[in-house]
Amino acid sequence: MSKFATIDIVIFVIYFFIVAGYGYYIYRKKKKAVSDTHDFFLAEGSLTWWAIGASLIASNISAEQFIGMSGNGYSIGIAVAAYEWIAAIALIIVAVWFIPVYLKNKIFTMPQFLKTRYNETVALIMAIFWLFLYVFVNLTSILFLGSLAINNLMGGSPVTFEIIMIALSVFAVIITLGGMKVIGFTDVIQVGVLIIGGLATTYIALIVVSKAFGFGENAIEGFNQLVKNAPDHFHMIFAKPVPGTPQHQVDNYLTIPGLLSYVAGIWIINLNYWGCNQYITQRALGADLQTARKGILFAGFLKLLMPIIVMLPGIAAYVLHQKGMLQAEMAIGSKHGEVMSDNAYSAILGYLPNGLIGLSLAALTAAIVASLAGKANSISTIFTLDVYKKYIKKDADEKGMVWVGRITIIAALIIAIAFTWNDTLGIGGQGGFTYIQKYTGFISPGVFAMFILGMFWKRTTGAAAVVGVITGFLMSVLFNIFAPRWFGPETILYTAYKNADGNYEIPFHICMGLAFGFTMLVMILVSLGGPKINPKAFALDKTMFKVSPGVLAMIVVTLMIISMLYVRFW
């Protein structure tokens, strides 16, 4: 049964027209975007630091966080906040050390970086890798999780699910076809709606918990009851499983393997995502260094808020479910009435009063559409500039490339819809957030090794990069799929644990760390066979990495907040 009232529909429609209307206004005001590829793909020179920061967050926070991370909040707890809080530190690293290298060398796409630093073979291989990853992992998961949540609010009809999926795609196309400038400035509205609606949902969730335990409408008491009734959900670091450890704790460790997460895996995920990812870095590549740095650090500060918005509702759903509430809501879409953790956020939305449901739906839709638009634009950028222009039509003019970019956006979303239609890829089976992190992790180690060595070790060669990307992928496949079967569950390199299906599995963060380590070793050994300074090495100087007092202050404040959070929830 639908939980929407007329006021909810009115609020949502107003949100839609505000975003679409403002996007059209920006598009008409900046007509240059019709024919200029740099403006269409990068919004060159026109995004302010706050627009860059807001666009980064709006594009990053999507259904995978609202639905997937909330689902992890239900099943795992606050430990999943590590993705957000470590991301804030990763953004500091990107702002101080990565962005100066990109801007000094006029890098506009990640394949261009690989071509400039290595060779065209590496660039083409990775362009194809990224296109497949963005379409078949990111777009599909965003569509599936977003449609699932909205559909649950509307009663859970399969037909409605498909209509919602198409509607989200069309909305994203409307935003995306205006180029990065339209995306960037509409994202300011989107992130505002996202934060306001998200905080409202969290507040109501805490009120519901407080009332369920007899304390009236008291959000602080609601939070205290979460801590009291789900103490295992408020620890950042999980203990290593031992014989007799309950299966759900083993499953949690497989997802976030305690301190070992912080040795390599979670850093590779975040530094690769925020520093070597077209979808993200594209927002800053058209700005000057000061503007780009401030925008990235502003995004890092906003990341500190995200667990409150996307994780606490999941923990609230867990506590309410344990108290005998949300039984039907948590089982929507399941085959045998079992709990589906990805239903947690939409289950909580059902408690919102009329009007706030519409606002929260707008927040969720803002997150989904902004991410779809950003991802589609990045797919378009990579295909048009790094494949079409270089290998299909080398004499393509500016206007022609913009139209190819627009056609690519539509094609990518159509493909994503086709593979999401009946959950062909099995996204719902393993939790959306984990699905994205795990399968992105198959290429992250090799990609990050190529970038980090390419930026900061002048001896790294093109041959090493080719070998590295292949090694990284093969090592990821080896440790994620075959190692426990071939070498046993316990070796000097890893310990594998039985998952819920009874199969031995290595925590995927550890798999990423091992794959990254072997890739770095192989790339270094291959590079030692080349010249001491590769002719294609980037010129670096210390002045590139100096920061202004204002930027330094932002860094210090962010690090202090993160330190306090870890002291409180260790």
Domain that holds residue 384: 6-15+43-440+540-569
Distance CA 3, CA 25 (A): 33
- Tell me whether residue 78 is in a domain: yes
Residue 45: its pLDDT value, please?
52
Whether 67 and 317 have beta carbons less than 8 Å apart is answered as: no
What is the 3 state secondary structure string of 409-476?
HHHHHHHHHHHHCCCCCCHHHHCHHHHHHHHHCCCHHHHHHHHHHHHHCCCCCHHHHHHHHHHHHHHH
- Tell me whether residue 503 is in a domain: no
3-class DSSP state for residue 77?
coil
Render pLDDT for 476-508 as a digit per residue (tens, 0 to 9): 999 988 999 999 999 999 999 998 888 899 998
Render pLDDT for 128-155 as a digit per residue (tens, 0 to 9): 888 888 888 888 888 887 787 777 766 6
Q: For tokens 């090592």, what's the residue? A: 475
Cβ within 8 Å of residue 223, ≥6 positions away:
206, 209, 312
- Tell me whether residue 452 is in a domain: no
- Tell me whether residue 115 is in a domain: yes
Whether 173 and 405 have beta carbons less than 8 Å apart is answered as: no
Distance CA 220, CA 212 (A): 14
Cβ within 8 Å of residue 388, ≥6 positions away:
396, 401, 404
Reported pTM: 0.81
Percent of the chain with pLDDT over 70: 84
Distance CA 342, CA 433 (A): 9
- Tell me whether residue 506 is in a domain: no
> Which of 134, 118, 131, 133 shows the shortest CA–CA distance to 467?
118
Bridge partners, residue 495, by sequence = 490
Cβ within 8 Å of residue 389, ≥6 positions away:
396, 401
Cβ within 8 Å of residue 140, ≥6 positions away:
416, 419, 420, 425, 427
Distance CA 175, CA 377 (A): 10
Number of domains in the chain: 1
The single-letter code of the amino acid at 221 is E
> Which token pair is 99?
């962005």
Distance CA 568, CA 223 (A): 14
Render pLDDT for 421-442 as a digit per residue (tens, 0 to 9): 776 666 655 555 666 666 777 8
Residue 282: its pLDDT value, please?
67
- Per-residue pLDDT 10s for the chain (570 aa) are 456 678 888 887 887 777 777 666 766 665 544 444 455 444 445 567 877 887 787 767 766 677 778 888 888 888 888 888 999 999 999 999 998 888 888 887 777 888 889 988 888 888 888 888 888 888 888 888 778 777 776 666 666 778 888 888 887 777 666 555 556 566 667 677 777 778 888 998 999 999 988 888 899 999 999 999 999 888 888 888 888 888 888 888 988 888 888 887 889 989 988 888 766 676 677 678 888 899 899 999 889 988 888 889 989 989 998 888 877 777 666 666 666 777 788 788 778 787 777 777 777 777 777 778 778 888 888 888 888 888 888 777 777 887 888 888 888 889 988 888 776 666 655 555 666 666 777 888 989 999 999 999 999 999 999 999 899 999 999 998 899 999 999 999 999 999 888 889 999 899 999 999 999 999 999 999 888 888 888 888 888 888 888 889 999 999 999 999 998 888
- Tell me whether residue 223 is in a domain: yes
- Tell me whether residue 325 is in a domain: yes
Report the CATH number at residue 303: 1.20.1730.10
Residue 35: its pLDDT value, please?
47
- Tell me whether residue 60 is in a domain: yes
Distance CA 30, CA 27 (A): 5
Distance CA 361, CA 318 (A): 21
Residue 33: its pLDDT value, please?
44
